[in-house]
Amino acid sequence: MQARLKVFKSGNSLALRLPKSLNLDNVKEFILKSFDNNEVVLTPVKDDEWSGLFKTLNELKDAGVKFERAEQSLPQERNFGFK
C-alpha cells in the first residue's frame, strides 16, 4: 500500500496522520528509522509474550495478591532392575 500522509505540528513535535485502513488499533508504539535522504521508516513495536505475563504479574502484585511456592516433595525412589 502506498499513501500520502499529512504532516502537522502537535505542540513542539511533528505528527503524521495515518490512514485508518492500516488497521493499527493494537499498535501503541513505533520504531522510527530516518535516513539522509529524508526517508522515514516506521516499524510497529510488538509486545513479546513475556512482557504481557510480567505486566499481569505486576498488576496482581500491586493488587495485593500473594504468591506461594508449592511444596516440593523428594523424587520417588525407583527400581529399574539395574545393579
pLDDT for the residue numbered 13: 94
Contacts of 11 (CB under 8 A, 6+ apart): none
Going by C-alpha positions, the residue among 40, 38, 34 that lies closest to residue 18 is 40
Q: What is the pLDDT of residues 8-44, one digit of tens each?
A: 999 999 998 888 888 888 888 889 998 888 888 988 8
Give the residue extent of every domain in the chain: 27-70
How crowded is residue 59: how many other Cβ atoms within 10 Å of its Cβ? 10
State the pLDDT at residue 80. 86
SS3 32: strand
How much is the average pLDDT of 52-70? Answer: 87
| 21: phi then psi, degrees, rounded to nearest 5 | -65, -15
Residue 46 has pLDDT above 80, yes or no: no
pTM over 0.85: no
